[in-house]
């Protein structure tokens, strides 16, 4: 077994225009002061990293790593959540997702997809240059508008959609394989990969690609009423990343899973700061330790109620408290009586 690394913090929700959140150096010092020892970098934010430059220049990658290390921190992983989303976008969402891309490719879905694919290629090389072995992203979605089908889905629609999704991602997965990096899909509503069944359909279409791995985030499963502990039993061999994020689901006589178009505060299912929701993190950390999860525990803060800086200050000790320093011996070793093959046979009554 391996002791989980952490606590880490995903910087995406904390970057801003005011100090200490406006530069990689200052935000790392801030995070370190709270007790975090790792940072996950959003690659779409140039205040954190220039992704293309990190891919093309090992010297620059070393400089970024040096800035983080100087604050007493490590880079846990890079993230291309926004770029990965753009690998597969249904036309109904073009206008909304265009904002994830540079102006030069907006209103041009083909060019936008090509840009996103190139971003993922940069991410693979940048991760290698930084000495990282896992990377976070989204799958994008071609089928999400049919998730609750009315009218009914035509026969073969889902198979066609996943065939196309795999066609787009297989070459990207191959690039990550060339650079020795696992590509970890965050299983998330709004993505075609949003639960175990959809992940399995995708995995089959990419021929069980060894780099098609998982970012485990239990908060999204709480909101779907999915058994997030059993999920670990099913997919622990593919889980390479872990977002520590809390959530709660409080159904009422007026709304349920779909939330009634309400804002986050008014939704039946909403994200919460660590410890304020319903996720059983004690069981999660125990399962991951038991399954020899070797990665980081990274806080992703999203809360409808609490101030982010308060959530961050509470997050580091929360994660640290839950990380299990795994044992190197059995608790009952003191009572051992020794063993060899002859002794074992005598115990079993074997001549």
Of 40, 132, 30, 138, give the one whose Cα is nearest residue 89.
138
> Residue 195: its pLDDT value, please?
98
pLDDT digits (tens, 9 = 90+) for 232-279: 999 999 999 999 999 999 999 999 999 999 999 999 999 999 999 999
Total domains present in the chain: 1
> Residue 335: its pLDDT value, please?
66
> Residue 54: its pLDDT value, please?
98
C-alpha–C-alpha distance, residues 193 and 185, integer Å = 8
Strands 269-272 and 246-249: antiparallel
Which residues span the domain enclosing 290? 5-348
C-alpha–C-alpha distance, residues 272 and 278, integer Å = 9
Q: What percent of the chain has pLDDT over 70?
A: 99
C-alpha–C-alpha distance, residues 274 and 314, integer Å = 7
Q: How far is CA 316 from the centre of its chain?
A: 18
Residues ≥6 apart with Cβ < 8 Å to 277 = 219, 222, 246, 247, 248, 271
Name all contacts of 152-155 with Cβ < 8 Å and 24+ positions apart: none
C-alpha–C-alpha distance, residues 286 and 293, integer Å = 10
**Could you report the average pLDDT of every consecutive run of 10 residues in the chain (351 residues)?**
96 97 98 98 97 98 98 98 98 97 98 98 98 98 96 97 98 98 98 98 98 98 98 98 98 96 96 98 98 98 96 98 89 73 88 74
pTM of the shown model: 0.95
> Residue 169: its pLDDT value, please?
98
Dihedrals φ, ψ of 216, to 5°?
-90, 120
> Is the backbone of residue 172 left (phi > 0), alpha (psi -120 to 50) or beta?
alpha
C-alpha–C-alpha distance, residues 351 and 349, integer Å = 6
**CATH number of domain containing 228:** 3.20.20.150
> Residue 334: its pLDDT value, please?
66
Of 298, 309, 330, give the one whose Cα is nearest residue 73.
298
Q: Which residues pair with 183 in a beta bridge?
A: 135, 212
Count of C-beta atoms within a 10 Å radius of residue 13: 16
The answer to whether the beta carbons of residues 78 and 136 sit under 8 Å apart is yes
C-alpha–C-alpha distance, residues 241 and 210, integer Å = 15
> Is the backbone of residue 275 left (phi > 0), alpha (psi -120 to 50) or beta?
left
């Amino acid at each position: 077994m391996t002791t989980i690394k952490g606590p880490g913090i995903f910087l995406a929700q904390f970057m801003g225009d005011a100090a200490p959140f406006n530069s990689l150096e200052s935000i790392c010092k801030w995070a370190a002061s709270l007790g975090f020892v790792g940072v996950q970098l959003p690659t779409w934010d140039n205040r954190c990293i220039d992704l293309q430059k990190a891919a093309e220049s090992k010297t620059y990658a070393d400089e970024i790593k040096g800035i983080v290390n100087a604050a007493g921190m490590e880079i846990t992983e890079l993230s291309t959540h926004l770029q990965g989303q753009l690998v597969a976008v249904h036309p109904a969402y073009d206008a909304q997702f265009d904002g994830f891309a540079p102006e030069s490719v907006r209103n041009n879905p083909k060019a936008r997809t090509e840009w996103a694919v190139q971003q993922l290629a940069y991410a693979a090389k940048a991760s290698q240059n930084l000495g990282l072995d896992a990377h976070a992203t989204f799958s994008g979605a071609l089928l999400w508008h049919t998730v609750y089908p009315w009218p009914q889905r035509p026969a073969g629609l889902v198979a066609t959609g996943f065939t196309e999704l795999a066609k787009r991602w297989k070459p990207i997965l191959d690039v990550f394989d060339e650079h020795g990096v696992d590509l970890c899909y965050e299983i998330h509503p709004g993505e075609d990969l949003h639960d175990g069944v959809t992940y399995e359909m995708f995995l089959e279409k990419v021929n069980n690609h060894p780099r098609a791995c998982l970012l485990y985030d239990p908060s999204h499963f709480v909101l779907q009423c999915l058994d997030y502990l059993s999920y670990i039993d099913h997919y622990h061999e593919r889980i390479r990343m872990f977002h520590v994020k809390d959530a709660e689901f409080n159904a009422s006589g007026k709304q349920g899973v779909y939330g009634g178009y309400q804002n986050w505060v008014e939704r039946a299912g909403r994200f919460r700061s660590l410890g304020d929701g319903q996720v059983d993190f004690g069981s999660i950390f125990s399962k991951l330790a038991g399954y020899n999860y070797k990665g980081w525990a990274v806080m992703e803060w999203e809360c409808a109620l609490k101030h982010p800086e308060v959530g961050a200050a509470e997050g580091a000790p929360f994660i640290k408290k839950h990380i299990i320093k795994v044992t190197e011996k059995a608790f009952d070793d003191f009572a051992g009586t020794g063993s060899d093959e002859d002794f074992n046979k005598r115990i079993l009554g074997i001549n």
